[in-house]
Amino acid sequence: MNTLKTIELGAIFNSIPNPIFIKDENLQFVFVNKAYEKMFNTKMKYILGKTVLDLEYLAEEHRIFYQNEDMELMRSGKTKHHVFDYLYKEKEMHTCLYWSSGFVQKDGDRGLIGVIVDINKQSKKIHALRKRMRIIDSEKKEIAKKNKIDALTRLYTRGTFDEALQKLASSSGGFSCILLDVDHFKRVNDTFGHAAGDAVLRAFAAIVQKCSRKRDMACRYGGEEFVVLLPGSKLDVAIMAAERIRRGVLKHVHTPDGKRVTTSAGCSEYIPGESAAFAVQRADKALYMAKQSGRNRICVV
């Protein structure tokens, strides 16, 4: 049996707290350190000359996996790593980082070395942190729901808008409204993914909020559509506000590759006697006209 010159480093490897093993070109064990013996409750003399397929303290599917991977690494000399759960001698499962690498000595002899690092404590902390983050996220969404704020954009929700719309319609002050749409938003999601799409919506919403007056109500109407309710305002005020938003979006909102995002808008003014919903429908019709006529523009109905 080829014992490999690397075994002369045994004293050094025994001083390392992480389990280490070395195999020869036949994938037979020629060395394991003290940490390996302790981890698997075995002795080096019992596994020398054996392959991983002979190790009964490992699950059969793991033995087959390691053997096949070791053969590949022996040929390629590459390094691979995995995260596995091992049953320690105290019958407790430990999450470990396992890595192994093929090597070639100066005399041409091939071998394989592997190291196992116990990351059980770190893994538990990560799982606990992720669980806590999920709880916090759930709490934030619940708070947002109670406060009638859209969790993504931090604008008012559609339900809040509908309530405010009915109150304005019953008052004598009148109102105007703006419906806005992020141009080609589906293309952003399809090209860059939903995380990038969400970032665009947040940036868009920030511009809508910034360009609205304190008494105006900026809402996420649904998907990539937004609406601004302007109490006591005429149509010309809505048009000017929509133009501020259009310019702000064009200047400050970009896709991940640096391209500018544009918006189309439709404006309408409530006519006494009509339903509040019909005023919004007219703004929606104007928005459709803006998109059909080339986008990045404002139309009025």
Architecture, CATH, for domain 5-123: 2-Layer Sandwich (3.30)
Q: With bands split at pLDDT 50, 70 and 90, how would you rate the model's confidence at 124? A: confident
Q: With bands split at pLDDT 50, 70 and 90, how would you rate the model's confidence at 28? A: very high
- Quote the pLDDT of residue 245: 97
Report whether pLDDT(6) > 50: no
- Quote the pLDDT of residue 158: 92
* DSSP single-letter state for residue 150: -
C-alpha 36/C-alpha 57 separation (Å) is 12
Mean pLDDT, to the nearest integer, of 64-87? 88
Cβ atoms < 10 Å from Cβ of 70: 19
Residue 9 or 291, more confident: 291
Q: Are 241 and 228 in contact (CB under 8 A)?
A: yes
Mean pLDDT, to the nearest integer, of 219-248? 96
- Quote the pLDDT of residue 109: 87
Q: What sign for the dihedral angle of Cα 9, 14, 20, 24?
A: positive
Instruction: Give phi and psi for 263, each to the nearest 5.
Output: -140, 145
Report whether pLDDT(208) > 70: yes
Structure tokens at 182: 């992020």
CATH number of the domain located at residue range(s) 148-300 in this protein: 3.30.70.270
Cα torsion at 69, 72, 77, 79 (round to 10°)?
A: -30
pLDDT above 90: percentage of residues in the chain: 61
Report whether pLDDT(67) > 90: yes
- Quote the pLDDT of residue 144: 66
- Quote the pLDDT of residue 125: 86
Q: What sign for the dihedral angle of Cα 56, 116, 35, 29?
A: positive
86-114: pLDDT as tens digits: 776 666 778 889 999 999 888 888 999 99
Structure tokens at 219: 């809402």
C-alpha 34/C-alpha 10 separation (Å) is 10
Strands (E) across 88-205 are located at: 93-104, 110-118, 175-182
pTM for the full model?
0.54
Single out the catalytic residue among 56, 61, 142, 224.
Answer: 224
Nearest Cα to 177, choosing from 190, 185, 168?
168
- Quote the pLDDT of residue 166: 84
159-198: pLDDT as tens digits: 899 988 888 877 767 899 999 999 999 999 999 999 999 9
Residue 56 or 92, more confident: 56
Q: With bands split at pLDDT 50, 70 and 90, how would you rate the model's confidence at 272? A: confident
Q: With bands split at pLDDT 50, 70 and 90, how would you rate the model's confidence at 237? A: very high
Structure tokens at 131: 């669980």
Provide the residue ranges of all domains of the chain, joining segments of one domain with +.
5-123, 148-300
Tell me, yes or no, if 224 is annotated catalytic.
Answer: yes
- Quote the pLDDT of residue 188: 95
Nearest Cα to 103, choosing from 94, 95, 112, 115?
112
Strands (E) across the chain are located at: 20-24, 29-32, 79-87, 93-104, 110-118, 175-182, 217-222, 225-231, 263-269, 298-300
